[in-house]
Structure 1
Amino acid sequence: MQSTVNYLWHTDDLLGQGATASVYKARNKKSGELVAVKVFNTASYMRPREVQMREFEVLRRLNHQNIVKLFAVEETGPSRQKVLVMEYCSSGSLLSVLESPEHAFGLPEDEFLVVLRCVVAGMNHLRENGVVHRDIKPGNIMRLMGAEGRSIYKLTDFGAARELDDDEKFVSVYGTEEYLHPDMYERAVLHKPQQKAFGVTVDLWSIGVTLYHAATGSLPFIPFGGPRRNKEIMYRIITEKPAGAIAGTQRGENGPLEWSYTLPITCRLSLGLQSQLVPILANILEAEQAKCWGFDQFFAETSDILQRVVVHVFSLSQAVLHHVYIHAHNTIAIFLEAVYKQTSVAPRHQEYLFEGHLCVLEPSLSAQHIAHTTASSPLTLFSMASETPKGLAFRDPALDILKFVPKVDLPGDCNTAKGVLGAGYQALRLARTLLDGQELMLRGLHWVVEVLQTTCRRTLEVTRTPSSSSSSLGSDRFSPVAGRSEIQELQEAWALRGRLRTLAEVLSRCSQNITETQKSLSALSSDLVKNRDQVHADRSIQQIQCCLDKMCLIYKQFKKSRMKPGLGYNEEQIHKLDKVNFSHLAKRLLQVFQEERVQKYQAALVTHGQRMRMVHDTRNHLRLVGCSVAACNTEAQGAQESLSKILDWLSHQLLPDGTKGAQTSPPPTAPHPSPAQADLVLHMQELCKEMKVLAFDLQDNNRIIERLSRVPSAPDV
């Protein structure tokens, strides 16, 4: 046990160890509060006193939620060693998070954004106080859980920190080599004499490497054999990196350098976030300090990301979920353009459903009017353009699984198990994503079918307009007593009657077509319901999770065994059996992933393409029906206008008391109008009323057809 006046700790409670100090978990003697104490060793006191006191002075000046707090500076007993009493972060460091097999391929998107927000806020506080850290890395970013169950990350270890303005330089070398700026790497690691001075942008390089590591689970610059084994190639990679590249790798001994300009496909960040992040990484991972961004631009660009909101959009035609990052104050037109950049679906071809309802997005409105979305409840995007569903692109986890060496190698076996377990967690995440993708495909198609069925029902109602008007004017209504002009008008009405009969036949055929379409849509709807039930009953996720749980238990045992100098005979035999069982579990996990998830997902994509083609054809067919009904409506309106003119003329010809109007021509053929003439007027009035009803129905039908034309079409596959 060791102690100061107010704090007590045991040397077994080691939290971390560096070149000049060790950090322990300690307790306050009075309150029992957990703290972290940093105890400096002999090497620390060999430094100049100014350097020794620098960390105390820097920490005293800083006060921010994303920087580990300094509570006190105390001394141990007789040795009077300085002890920094600091805030205790119970969840380890960002490095310990990344070393977990679960995060072998980087952090999930939500957690990465938390890291980005915390690091940017902490670094901004450092720059406001004129401090350069000089040793930014995941191991110096501590983690604790906040009151709301959300991670909080804090910068720590200010042993290398010093005051430095933006335009000032320094020549001393500090840091961890994998995260060192190339100029500092040349002197500190390769020990080459050079007279370069360094500025505050060296922190930006370290931040870039740290963010890449958090996003991918691996370092951006990796020579063959690793950074610590091949230092000359490491230096070549970080100094020869082309502009815009964010990673460099050497895959074989003396092999060529391969550059990457995007994050790897195994990265768990969405393409929407990657498109925002990659330009930042490219501009802070710049070896030439003159070309590297300054902190002002870095803060501006990262703050721009952190101020955005995400809208989840599932492209039904592509079968891909997109994360679209926009500002809340942006217009919907900007959102539609952002969707276009990710999906290549032009704004004029974008149509949306949300929770089963058509969602009309007015481009001039604020993006705040867009519904709140999640990955499980996104906007469903329809594209009127033809497109083949491509589905989720991913790397087969089997490619990242290594085999155990035959002999017992405790460190090697542990590392192999860790790598296999990481690939297993990746398979689990992919399996969930593929299953969720199937659910979104089926649910989105179900909504489209419902919309089309509703449109069919409404259109079917208005196509069943009364046709009695076409027979209300029989040939027996003509009277030879009537004048010649009346006969001509009646002949024209007779022709209109024939045209009305034709329109009624067209509407009848439209009705039959819609009825047949309804049957097809009902059959598709039933298939979709059955498929959704099958997806909900799928147990592949549980099977993969079961394998992982058993593999984790073996891995924990391997970690314990690695700490031992060796194993006894019986322990060694158990270790060998564990390796065999671990390999069998990994094989079973991959088998379930491939056969139960990947193959079913690929089959679902093919079926989805066929169904989308059917929906697309159905929509086009309904549009043709709409055109026919619209044409009927136009002709009916013309007929109604013509009949109205005929009625007006006859009304003036025959007064209500049966006499001819004084202004009518030609002269009457009889002193009094015959009953046939009055009857004629009555029937013409009835015919006109019926025509008005028909025209009204057809106009209403035309409005429905216009709405129908806005129903999204499925692409050709």
Structure 2
Amino acid sequence: MQSTVNYLWHTDDLLGQGATASVYKARNKKSGELVAVKVFNTASYLRPREVQVREFEVLRKLNHQNIVKLFAVEETGGSRQKVLVMEYCSSGSLLSVLESPENAFGLPEEEFLVVLRCVAHVNALSGPKDSLPPKVSPRHEAVPGQRASSPLSAVAGMNHLRENGIVHRDIKPGNILRLLGEEGQSIYKLTDFGAARELDDDEKFVSVYGTEEYLHPDMYERAVLRKPQQKTFGVTVDLWSIGVTLYHAATGSLPFVPFGGPRRNKEMMYRITTEKPAGAIAGTQKEENGPLEWSYTLPVTCRLSLGLQSQLVPILANILEVEQAKCWGFDQFFAETSDILQRVIVHVFSLSQAVLHHVYIHAHNTIAIFLEAVYEQTRVAPQHQKFLFEGHFWVLEPNLSAQHIAHTTASSPLTLLSTASETPKGLAFKDPAQDIPKFFPKVDLQADYTTAKSVLGAGYQALWLARTLLAGQELMLRGLYWCVETFQATCRRTLEVTRMALLFLSSSLGTERFSSVAGMTEMQELKKVTELRSRLRALAEALSRCSHSITESQTSLSNLRSELLKNRDQVHADRSIQQIQYCLDKMNLIYKQFKKSRMRPGLGYNEEQIHKLDKVNFSRLAKRLLQLFQETCVQKYQTSLVTHGRWMREVHETRNHLRMVGCSVAAYNTEAQGAQESLSKILDQVSHQLLQDRTREAQVSPPLTAPYPSPALTDLVLQMQELCEEMKLLAFDLQDNNRVIEGLSRPPSAPDS
């Protein structure tokens, strides 16, 4: 046990160790509160006095939510060693998070954004202000007079180091500690300011600190390769370290890896970082003395969405620059990272492509900008974009603010229905079984641990992919189901309008009053009545065919709906995720035992036999897991893509067919309206002519027996007037029907936000 006046710790509770100090978990003697104590060793006192006190002075000046707090500076009782009493972060470091097999291929998107927020807030303004204004791309459109909201005190946090003129000089995942907040959220805090120093805006330094994989190449050349050079270093060397750290967090791997690893092939490591082409964000050498391969994008195994990758890659490309003249400054880095953190995510599932997209958009941007962002990711032009949300068409007016877009999640996205048919491509992914290592027959505790860790990491990647593929199948089925439901509603409305028109036409054509009129007069206009009636009969037959066609579409949609429900039940009944998780749990137990065993010098005979059996069982479980993934998850997903493509073609055909039928019904209604109006005019003329003739007859030869017209003629006039009124009503109804038909081709207005 060791102690200071107020704190107590055991040397077994080691949290970390460096060249000049060790960090332990300790407790306050009075309150029992857990803290971390940094105890400096004898070697630390060999440094110049100003270097020894630098960390104390730096930490005393800093006070920020993403920087580990300094509580006190005390001394041990016997040796009087200096002790820094600091905030205790119980969940390890970002490095321990990335070392976990679950994150072998990088952090999930939500966790990565938390890390980005921490790194950007604390580090980005640690250097001098740039002389040039920050780069702002055209996509950063703002509404005049409207300010963007700052994400979690970004400006205050990032200005904190700048205002104090401090450069960290040893940024890496191991120096970013993690703790859990009250609601279970991750909070990352920068620690280890042993290499930090205060620096004026234009001041340079010559001393070298840091961890070699994260060092700027100029510092690497002198500190690692021990080559004499007269270069001085500015505060922007932190940006290189930030770039490597962010790449590591996004992918689970270092960006620059020579054959044999960075620490075995140092000359090649230096060559990769210095020969990197502009725009490249990674370089690897896969064979001994082999060529260098450059990457300009994040690997396909990365778990970040393409929407976030498109924002992140330009940042990495511009801070992983050797020449400081080409490298971004802190203002530019801040502008771009802050821009990402201020955006909201709109989840969009492209039904035609069967791909879920994350569209990063500012809330104050217009919907037109959002539609353009959707186009950039899906290649579906804005005029071809139709959106469904929770089963209803969602109209997005281009001139409105993006705040009117519905709140979405990965499980409840906007569904994009393209009016152009295409073959679904689905999720692009790499089979985790590729390049998976195998155990050596002999017992090698370190090698066995390393192999188990790699295989377990592939297993967790398979689990993540399996969940993603299953979620994709559910979104495909749900989106198609919504399409079917909306098209069935269209069928019902179109059929109702068509039958209404047929009812009126049948009523008009079935009356015998036309023949009565024709039998009692020789007027020329009545000859047109027969032609109009023939025309109306033809329209009635055409509408009947439309009605029959719509009924057939309804039957087809009902059959598709039944298939979708059947497949949805099958997806919900799938248990491959649980089976993969079971294998992983068993493998994880063996992995933890391997992790513990590697710290021992060797195993006894019985323990070695158990270790060999564990290797066999681990390999068997891994084989079973990957078999489940490939033969169940992947095959079902690929089958679902083929079926989805067939159903999408059917949906497109049905939609186009309904549109044509709707246009035909509208055209027939318009023609019927014209015929009814013509017929109404003729009947008006006939009725008027009959009344005039009867009046003239009465004036020339008054009736001898009665002063009234004959009952037959009077009845005929009344019938004609009544028929005229019916024709006018029918014309009005047909005109109203046309408005309904035209509305069927347009989705209903979106609900109020």
Global fold match (TM > 0.5)? yes
1:474 positional shift: 5.3
Task: Give 5+ residue unaligned stretches, structure 1.
Answer: 713-717
Task: Give 5+ residue unaligned stretches, structure 2.
Answer: 124-157, 749-753
Between stretches 653-662 and 295-304, larger displacement belongs to 653-662
Alignment of 1:93-492 (within 5 A): 93-123=93-123, 124=158, 125-464=160-499, 465=501, 466=503, 467-473=506-512, 476-478=515-517, 482=521, 487-492=523-528
What is the distance in 2 between the residues matched to 1:693 and 1:574?
A: 92
What is the distance in 2 between the residues matched to 1:699 and 1:586?
A: 69
- CA deviations 1:8-64 (Å, max 9, x no partner) are 111111000111111000111111110000011111111100011111110000000
Match for 1:526 among 562, 566, 575?
562
What is the distance in 2 between the residues matched to 1:104 and 1:378?
A: 28
What is the distance in 2 between the residues matched to 1:154 and 1:654?
A: 99
Question: Is 1:586 aligned to 2:625, yes or no?
Answer: no
Distance 1:491 1:40, change over 3 A: same
1:507 — aligned with what?
543
What is the distance in 2 between the residues matched to 1:479 and 1:703?
A: 35
Contact kept in structure 2, 1:479 and 1:677, CA below 8 Å: no
Helix, strand or coil: the match of 2:420? Answer: coil
Helix, strand or coil: the match of 2:544? Answer: helix
1:655 positional shift: 4.7
What is the distance in 2 between the residues matched to 1:626 and 1:668?
A: 57
Contact kept in structure 1, 2:98 and 2:107, CA below 8 Å: yes
1:702 — aligned with what?
738
Contact kept in structure 2, 1:421 and 1:548, CA below 8 Å: yes
Specify the code of the residue in structure 2 equivalent to 1:128: E
Alignment of 1:622-637 (within 5 A): 622-637=658-673
What is the distance in 2 between the residues matched to 1:214 and 1:669?
A: 110
Between stretches 681-690 and 140-149, larger displacement belongs to 681-690
Question: Is 1:90 aligned to 2:97, yes or no?
Answer: no
1:715 — aligned with what?
none
Question: Is 1:570 aligned to 2:609, yes or no?
Answer: no
- CA deviations 1:324-354 (Å, max 9, x no partner) are 0001111111111110000000000000111
2:681 — aligned with what?
645
Contact kept in structure 2, 1:654 and 1:678, CA below 8 Å: no
What is the distance in 1 between the residues matched to 2:697 and 2:216?
A: 105
1:479 positional shift: 5.1
Contact kept in structure 2, 1:623 and 1:705, CA below 8 Å: no
1:457 positional shift: 1.0
What is the distance in 2 between the residues matched to 1:75 and 1:88?
A: 19
What is the distance in 2 between the residues matched to 1:601 and 1:414?
A: 33
- CA deviations 1:598-634 (Å, max 9, x no partner) are 0011011101111111111111111111121111122
Specify the code of the residue in structure 1 equivalent to 2:364: H
Contact kept in structure 1, 2:684 and 2:720, CA below 8 Å: no
What is the distance in 2 between the residues matched to 1:471 and 1:9?
A: 103
Contact kept in structure 2, 1:205 and 1:284, CA below 8 Å: yes
CA RMSD of aligned residues (A): 2.0
Distance 1:436 1:319, change over 3 A: same
What is the distance in 2 between the residues matched to 1:458 and 1:511?
A: 11
1:557 positional shift: 0.5
1:656 positional shift: 9.7
1:39 — aligned with what?
39
What is the distance in 1 between the residues matched to 2:273 and 2:649?
A: 50
1:12 — aligned with what?
12
Distance 1:684 1:497, change over 3 A: farther
Identity of matched residues, %: 83
1:649 positional shift: 3.2
Contact kept in structure 2, 1:473 and 1:683, CA below 8 Å: no
Instruction: State how many pairs are aligned.
Output: 705
Between stretches 542-551 and 361-370, larger displacement belongs to 361-370
- CA deviations 1:534-590 (Å, max 9, x no partner) are 100000000000000000000011011101100000000000000000000000001
Contact kept in structure 2, 1:317 and 1:612, CA below 8 Å: yes
Distance 1:669 1:103, change over 3 A: farther
Helix, strand or coil: the match of 1:147? Answer: coil
- CA deviations 1:189-242 (Å, max 9, x no partner) are 111111111111100000000000000000000000000000111001101111
What is the distance in 2 between the residues matched to 1:312 and 1:263?
A: 21
- CA deviations 1:141-161 (Å, max 9, x no partner) are 000001111000000000000
Distance 1:213 1:643, change over 3 A: same
The alignment's TM-score, normalised by the length of structure 2, stands at 0.91
Contact kept in structure 2, 1:449 and 1:521, CA below 8 Å: yes
What is the distance in 2 between the residues matched to 1:93 and 1:668?
A: 116
2:147 — aligned with what?
none
1:520 positional shift: 0.9
2:139 — aligned with what?
none
Specify the code of the residue in structure 2 equivalent to 1:411: Q
Distance 1:322 1:358, change over 3 A: same
2:584 — aligned with what?
548
1:654 positional shift: 4.7
Between stretches 450-459 and 693-702, larger displacement belongs to 693-702
Specify the code of the residue in structure 1 equivalent to 2:88: Y
Alignment of 1:646-661 (within 5 A): 646-655=682-691, 659=695
What is the distance in 2 between the residues matched to 1:56 and 1:143?
A: 22
Q: Which runs of 4+ in 1 moved over 6 A?
A: 667-673
- CA deviations 1:468-515 (Å, max 9, x no partner) are 202325563135653x5xx22222233212111111111111111111
- CA deviations 1:111-139 (Å, max 9, x no partner) are 00000111111222212321000000000
Specify the code of the residue in structure 2 equivalent to 1:34: L
What is the distance in 1 between the residues matched to 2:697 and 2:377?
A: 74
